[in-house]
Amino acid sequence: MVELIIIGAGPAGITAGVYAARKKINFLIISEDIGGQTALSADVENYTGYQFITGSELVAKFEEHLKQFSVELKVNESVKRITKISAITGTHFKVETAKGPYEAKSVIIASGRRPRWLSVKGEEGFRNKGVSYCATCDGPVFSGKVVAVIGGGNSALDATLQMIKIASKVYLININPKLAGDPVMRDKVESSAMVEVINNAATKEISGDKFVSGIKIEQAGVERKIDLQGIFVEIGSVPNSGIMDIVKKNESAEIIVDNLNRTSEPGIFAAGDVTDIPEKQIIVAAGEGAKAVLGASRYLSSLK
């Protein structure tokens, strides 16, 4: 049994790992990947110390920092469930993955989020056949083509700015009256001749044959068909919080934490985008990961 298991290796999980190593805690990290959502970001312009860096470059910096320590990192493992075990020696937790169970005295859940689906006709059938949820991953496939980005927040703006450099035209379809997100990104999008912003528009259907060839939207009660070859769905994300049922969550299924990153279950901490902390930012997640380890360290000291 280890003292601590950290679930996730995005900004929160990796920072937690660095802090846990410096605290000499006996721990391991379990994660499906390295970097989480950060690896999908094209340009990061608001992480302190870097005026400009790509998401993949920042993840490489995180990983390089983590490797300065002797850390047990189990990548490509998906956590299925966390359960509480009460024994004579005290309470501890079992973390189950497809490759086997692990046990720890405390856990930090830093499992992040996953893209939200549109849930419209045609979406599922054309997934990976013109419908994508990652412009960073799939953008180059649509070189010189007409594409749509669906959404109106930072993720949609980021995807649009990426596709301006790749596609022949970008439709930005926003269900709200105006674009949200960072003003600097918004200005870049709205000033580009490559982009047609369509506000107050609801996506109704995705169509095509073997691959996507069109999208149907509704604006002010009027339906419109747009011919295109690619669609990027950027309407936010949902937390990866289903692995644990004994902690309290809000109406959005985010894990509720206090200012010490404690959940409702003693010994379980949470950090980053999986929690109810309102700002889903890389730098915020990193700070929350550090706080979570400091809280877990205090908890472990109380057991001793």
Assess whether 134 carries a catalytic annotation. Answer: yes
Q: Quick one: tokens of 145?
A: 């083509």
- What string of DSSP letters covers 5-74? EEE--SHHHHHHHHHHHHTT--EEEEESSSSGGGGG-SEE--BTTBSSEEHHHHHHHHHHHHTTS--EEE
Going 278 to 11 to 119 to 244, the CA torsion angle's sign is: negative
- Helix 11-22 vs helix 282-303: angle between axes, to the nearest 10 degrees? 40
Candidates 137, 187, 245, 258; catalytic one: 137
Distance between CA atoms of residues 108 and 97, nearest Å: 16
Residue with tokens 């054309």: 126
DSSP class of 262: B
Alpha helices in the chain (DSSP H): 11-22, 55-66, 135-138, 154-164, 183-190, 282-303
- Give the count of beta carbons closer than 10 Å to the beta carbon of residue 274: 31
* CA angle in degrees (0–180, nearest 5) for 13-15-19: 115
Check 33, 138, 182, 276 and give the catalytic one: 138
Annotation marks residue 137 as catalytic: yes
Is 245 catalytic? The answer is no
The SS3 call for residue 195 is strand
Write b or e for each residue in 227-258: b if 16 or more Cβ atoms lie within 10 A of its Cβ, otherwise e. Answer: ebbbbbbbbebebbbebbeebebeeeebbebe
Chain centre to alpha carbon of residue 235: 12
**Annotated catalytic residue: which of 33, 43, 134, 276?**
134
Catalytic residues: 134, 137-138
